[in-house]
């Protein structure tokens, strides 16, 4: 079975602070030619910070693309040459003021492989300690501590609607049950 | 608490077959000015087709942005003015040849609210019937029937790495347990 799409031509459209956009002309397995609009992303991490009472430290922030305030787990983009674990601790500290003494890398996943190469590494953060956080002054964030069981209900009723957060909460649920 | 980012200026960069890209100049809550690179997407649906023996009908397809063949649940973009349920049945038929006599809309979520407005509506498809599928000749897809319990293990071991698929599988697991 050969699914491969060979690149015939690449056209770079945009190179921004965070995203790049290109259009690839590709040869399909049946010989036809098509185009693929591709968003290049530097990659990211997300952390589920969970305390000893199974509360998740979550953040509320305004998301311009959807024009809504969303409740999410802490996350952020990889800086150049930054390793994922360093990035996870940095984002956790910047966004919540906590450090995780136990930081477990659980899975990697693609957020939107149909149009972007963004890869996200998911961590579980435990043994949380309040740290001298140097909060980023241009991040407008409200921290909320929510029991995991309640957060799962908020996925169900539509109050939590960010994909990486939903993935993180379910994986934490399975992990704590010993099924993951 | 005011998180709102007012748009000062919008620059349209690209308008393609599927995606649009724009850069918004925004006023942050502290009065500073920043930019947001935003990918506009038409919205999509994803379906977890599950048979009476708790097998999930999944598809394998090549994803150019990540240059990999991925195992995913059926999904696709909304056509202009198409309602989400019609889209879900259409994509299920085009990609798998099945019709779901019972199609349940479970949740909506944002795939990447940090850089895109893509909203995805997730359905559970049950009472599956083989239909006279008019398969799309430019879709190169292999169908695989995988027990739900095995699919969850494949999330754990990294063989399934598409975010919407992970969300769909966990939600189906919770639903069948009566917890969702």
Task: Pick the catalytic residue from A72, A95, A137, A139.
Answer: A137
Give per-residue pLDDT as tens, A14-29: 999 999 999 999 999 9
In chain A, the number of structural domains is 2
**φ, ψ at A130 (rounded to 5°):** -65, 130
Does B84 share its domain with B160?
yes
Cβ pair B65:A38 closer than 8 A: yes
User: What is the side-by-side strand order in the sheet with B119-130?
Assistant: B75-77, B44-49, B119-130, B98-110
The confidence score (pLDDT) of residue B132 equals: 72
Cβ pair A161:B108 closer than 8 A: yes
Question: What is the C-alpha separation between B64 and B15, in angstroms, rounded?
Answer: 19
Cβ atoms of B60 and B144 within 8 Å: the answer is yes
* Positions in chain B short of pLDDT 50: none
Question: What is the C-alpha separation between A45 and A137, in angstroms, rounded?
Answer: 20
Question: What is the C-alpha separation between B113 and B126, in angstroms, rounded?
Answer: 30
Give per-residue pLDDT as tens, B58-98: 999 999 999 999 999 999 999 999 999 999 999 999 999 99
Q: Is residue B114 part of a domain?
A: yes
Does B26 share its domain with B70?
no
Q: Is residue A62 part of a domain?
A: yes
Testing the interface with A: which of B18, B22, B115 to mutate, by most A Cβ within 10 A? B115
Give per-residue pLDDT as tens, A25-48: 999 999 999 999 999 999 999 999
Cβ atoms of B117 and A66 within 8 Å: the answer is yes
Domain hosting A36: range is 6-40
The confidence score (pLDDT) of residue A65 equals: 98
Does B28 share its domain with B74?
no
Does B128 share its domain with B164?
yes
Q: Minimal CA–CA distance to A37: which of B65, B114, B44, B140?
A: B65
Residues 6+ apart with CB under 8 A from A91: A45, A47, A74, A75, A76
Is position A137 annotated as part of the catalytic site?
yes
Does B71 share its domain with B117?
yes
Does B116 share its domain with B170?
yes
The confidence score (pLDDT) of residue A3 equals: 87
Does B26 share its domain with B52?
no
Does B67 share its domain with B24?
no
The confidence score (pLDDT) of residue B56 equals: 98
Q: Is residue A102 part of a domain?
A: yes
Q: Is residue A127 part of a domain?
A: yes
Q: Is residue A110 part of a domain?
A: yes
Q: How far is CA B93 from the centre of its chain?
A: 16
Question: What is the C-alpha separation between A94 and A55, in angstroms, rounded?
Answer: 19
- The interface pTM score, or ipTM, of the predicted complex is 0.96
Interface of B with A in 73-132 (CB under 8 A): 75, 107-120
| Average pLDDT value over all residues in chain B | 95
Does B75 share its domain with B142?
yes
Q: How far is B51 from chain A (nearest CA, A)?
A: 23
Q: Is residue B120 part of a domain?
A: yes
Q: Is residue B132 part of a domain?
A: yes
């Amino acid at each position: 079975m050969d699914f491969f799409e060979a690149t015939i031509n690449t056209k770079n459209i945009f190179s921004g602070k965070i995203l790049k956009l290109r259009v690839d002309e590709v040869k399909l397995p049946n010989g036809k030619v098509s185009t693929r609009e591709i968003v290049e992303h530097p990659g990211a991490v997300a952390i589920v910070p969970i305390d000893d009472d199974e509360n998740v430290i979550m953040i509320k922030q305004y998301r311009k693309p959807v024009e809504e305030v969303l409740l999410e787990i802490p996350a952020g983009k990889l800086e150049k040459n930054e390793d994922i674990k360093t990035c996870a601790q940095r984002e956790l500290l910047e966004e919540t003021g906590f450090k995780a003494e136990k930081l477990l890398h659980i899975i990697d996943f693609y957020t939107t492989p149909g149009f972007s190469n963004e890869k996200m590494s998911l961590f579980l953060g435990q043994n949380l300690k309040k740290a001298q956080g140097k909060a980023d002054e241009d991040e407008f964030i409200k921290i909320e501590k929510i029991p995991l069981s309640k957060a799962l209900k908020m996925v169900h009723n539509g109050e939590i609607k960010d994909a990486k957060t939903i993935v993180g909460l379910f994986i934490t649920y399975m992990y704590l049950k010993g099924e993951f």
